[in-house]
Amino acid sequence: MTRIDDVARLAGVSTATVSRALRGLPTVSAATRRRVQAAAEQLQYAVSPSASRLAGGKTGTVAVVVPRITRWFFATVVEAVEDHLHENGYDLLLYNLGGREQTRRRVLRTANLHKRVDAIILVATPLRPADATALTKLDLPGVTISSGSGVPGWPSVRIDDVAAGRTATRHLVDLGHTRIAHISGDPDDELAFTTHLDRRRGYQEALRAAGIRPDPSLDVESQFTVDGGTRATAELLARGEPPTAIFAACDEMAMGAMTALRDAGLRVPQDVSVIGVDDHDLAGALGLSTIAQPAAEQGLLAARILLDPLGVRAAEPYAGSAPAPGGGDASDDTPARPVILPTRLVVRESTAPPRAH
Amino acid sequence: MTRIDDVARLAGVSTATVSRALRGLPTVSAATRRRVQAAAEQLQYAVSPSASRLAGGKTGTVAVVVPRITRWFFATVVEAVEDHLHENGYDLLLYNLGGREQTRRRVLRTANLHKRVDAIILVATPLRPADATALTKLDLPGVTISSGSGVPGWPSVRIDDVAAGRTATRHLVDLGHTRIAHISGDPDDELAFTTHLDRRRGYQEALRAAGIRPDPSLDVESQFTVDGGTRATAELLARGEPPTAIFAACDEMAMGAMTALRDAGLRVPQDVSVIGVDDHDLAGALGLSTIAQPAAEQGLLAARILLDPLGVRAAEPYAGSAPAPGGGDASDDTPARPVILPTRLVVRESTAPPRAH
DNA sequence: CTGAAAGCGCTTACAG
DNA sequence: CTGAAAGCGCTTACAG
């Protein structure tokens, strides 16, 4: 492969000048830059990332950590992040935790990330205090999306999960429901993952505001998946008199609930109303009422927060390394105020007044 | 950060020995290795990937290219690939084409991939002849999943799309349908992407085998998405007398079709039967009949094909660089015979005999 | 089994 | 605005 020396020779300049010219540094005359670019093009030169990273100390790479890339919310976030990163010349290293503690530890605890990436985006990743400390010690800029406690000094992007739970539940209350069940997050999850706790809190608040006492027998825990929703609903039905409405902590669980209800011979919404959170791609197809959250926007915003502070420019054909991203001041121990994006109640066919009405 | 010299000094050996010991090379005495490992642990040493890559010529990274990470099939494939790669100490660089020709070109045509990764997994990525040539010139091992023409010398993993189309359509024929519509791939896609062409071919073959002449007015093209399915079905219905059954080229389109039918006041399956391909996570929730294809298996198999030939060992705590992957003999111009994984008809509630019966 | 030394291909002060 | 030279932190023949 052609190296920087080849380009330098052809252009009649030093390798230092080639390096500067191709990276768009201002200290190169227009004429020289053109000559260098022409030479590079002619030789089909592409900078060696390894060499560039070693010499420059920047990796031009961002790590994105998600719990499960197969879930709608995470795939949508990753797509938006990927777009913005590549648009700006950064590579994306994907880490999918897949629910395994071992993987979580490997990603969060090792010094791997330190020398491998310039920045980190953590999506809905549960963190133990020790994890947060380790991440802070990496001294890398980072952003969390939809993460519970967050990392000290890292900006965070999220929605108001308490409000989401409240709005969903109030919608059911407003329709006249009083026996409102809730299916929610993983009981095995001993980590500080607050999403489902917050949504449940909103549920309970809305019930109490309506003068309804939360009934523990109507509150079932399961996984944040279609199957989880199915199982939780089956358990709910096994407990006795069914509720007239179910608030599921995410759309996938809501969809699972719809299946379980149908399998039990109950109709949605005539017998049981169902509402979720997300506005999943398929919510429309299923007629699922939901609290819509802007997933792509959260991803884009996180990527922007990371890249913009240092004045990242658009990727150039021969850009060797992108400027280091900033955005998180790791030395600042006060958690930055999270950016809260708005949610929106979307009423479809899965919610209706209870039959008694 | 601690460097290799620090470890060498503490262990009382040369940096060369540290390098060998931590990478598990056999030419190190057990006693020395233990000493080095202890020193590395004590200093919390982690190898610098950039330096290791530059010196060793291996990146320990695999590029995974998908059309849209938000689609069920691709997310599922990526999850399986990610797991196997990280399990073996490789990093995963994600490229999401997102349907933009510009992105496709950037990923496929530049020399970027060349110096950035050791191997490539291309998932359902349409290739022009020039693209395939460029990829071959990279002289990197690669595997394609579900890709049309493939890359000369690269192994490929896929299902038999013609058979999938045939089985789906025959299921409808067996139920007694004769007015069977098909909704399928992107009309704007001028590339050699064969998935939807093959599924359509299977559809037409099954019709002819049943003595039914394929009716062009029952064959609508759209995108491989929920929205695409909705639009295609709306167009189909606008053309006049509705079909009694629809074979959608993927489950997402099938789900979109179900929405469009419902919006038009038609019931599934009483008025119109619907069948797709995939066995999407939500197919069960929607009661969608489908041709199930093993997505995770295809991803895992592709990753294995890439990594196994060189006897990849499990990742070690301090493994600096993984062995170079092999599997594709880029100098071999005869396309390897594709590995074909089996599909399976899954009958749920969305298909039934036509009403006239 | 181990070490000294060269080299991987860039970027970055430093000097001009 | 440009160049000579050092240096980034490893790995790999080569020699022993």
pLDDT for the residue numbered B133: 84
pLDDT tens digits along A99-115: 777 777 777 766 678 78
Output the pLDDT for position B36: 95
Is strand C within 7 Å of residue A3 (CB)?
A: yes
Q: What pLDDT digit, counting tens, does each position of A42-85 carry?
A: 999 999 999 999 999 999 999 999 989 999 999 999 999 999 99
Whether the per-residue pLDDT at B320 is higher than 90: the answer is no
Which residue is associated with the tokens 């919610």?
A: A351
For residue B167, give how far its alpha carbon lies from the nearest alpha carbon of chain A (Å). 25
Asked whether residue B108 carries a pLDDT value surpassing 90, the answer given is no
Task: Please give the Cα distance from A337 to B58 (Å, whole number).
Answer: 42
B71-90: string of b/e by CB count within 10 Å (b at 16+)? Answer: bbbbbbbbbbbbbbbbebbb
In the block, tokens 């980590």 appear at A191
Say whether the CB atom of A84 is under 7 angstroms from strand C: no
Residue A290: strand, helix, or coil:
strand
Structurally, at CATH architecture level, domain B161-293 sits in 3-Layer(aba) Sandwich (3.40)
Say which range, A87-101, A274-288, B185-199, has the weakest mean pLDDT.
Answer: B185-199
CA at B56, C1' at D12: how many angstroms apart? 8
- Using alpha carbons, list the distances in angstroms from residue A58 to A24, A258, A349, B48: 16, 49, 51, 12
Tell me the mean pLDDT in the region A178-187. Answer: 88
- Beta strand segments in chain B, E: 61-66, 91-96, 119-123, 142-145, 156-159, 180-184, 219-221, 245-248, 273-278, 289-292, 339-341, 344-346
Contact B92 A93 (CB under 8 A): yes
| CATH code of the region B4-55 | 1.10.260.40
Q: Distance (Å, rounded) from C-alpha B279 to C-alpha B104?
A: 28
CB contact under 8 A, B83 and A94: no
Kindly report the pTM of this predicted structure. Answer: 0.90
Task: Look at A208 and B132; give whichever has higher pLDDT.
Answer: A208
| Token reading at B222 | 């759209």
Q: Where are the domains of chain B?
A: 4-55, 61-159+295-341, 161-293
DSSP string, A7-29: HHHHHTS-HHHHHHHHHT-SSS-
Rounded to a whole number of angstroms, the distance from the CA of A205 to the nearest CA of chain B is: 30
Q: Class of A61-159+295-341 per CATH?
A: alpha beta
Whether B55 CB is under 7 Å from strand C: yes
- What is the distance in angstroms measured between the alpha-carbon CA of B60 and the sugar C1' of D6? 28
B118 half-sphere exposure, CB direction, 13 A CA radius = 24
Q: Average pLDDT for residues A203-211, to the nearest whole number?
A: 97
Q: How confident is the model at residue B176 (pLDDT cuts 50, 70, 90)?
A: very high
Buried b (16+ CB within 10 A) or exposed e, A208-239: eeeebebeeebbbbbbbbbbbbbbbbbebbee
In angstroms, the CA A210 to CA A174 distance is 9
Residues 6+ apart with CB under 8 A from A88: A307, A312, A313, A314, A315, A322
**Residue B15, CB, strand C, below 7 Å:** yes
Return the SS3 of A119: strand
pLDDT band at B356 (very low <50, low <70, confident <90, very high): low
Q: Is 90 exceeded by the pLDDT of residue B164?
A: yes
Q: Is the pLDDT of residue A314 over 60?
A: no
Q: Which residues of B fall within a CB distance of 8 Å from A255?
A: 282, 285
Distance, CA of B299 to C1' of D15, in Å? 46
The more confident residue out of B112 and A320 is B112
Question: Are B200 and B223 contacting, i.e. CB atoms less than 8 angstroms apart?
Answer: no
**Interatomic distance B17 CA / C2 C1' (Å):** 7
Strands A119-123 and A61-66: parallel
The residue-averaged pLDDT of A12-29 equals 93
Domains B4-55 and B61-159+295-341 belong to one CATH topology? no
pLDDT band at A317 (very low <50, low <70, confident <90, very high): very low
For residue B211, give how far its alpha carbon lies from the nearest alpha carbon of chain A (Å): 34
Q: How many cross-chain Cβ pairs, A to B, lie less than 8 Å apart?
A: 147
Nearest to B183 by CA among B122, B144, B239: B239
Across all strands, nucleotide nearest B2 (CA–C1'): D9
Cβ separation B78–A91 shorter than 8 A: no
Residue of A nearest to B54 (CA): A50
pLDDT of residue B127: 82
A26 CB-to-strand D distance under 7 Å: yes
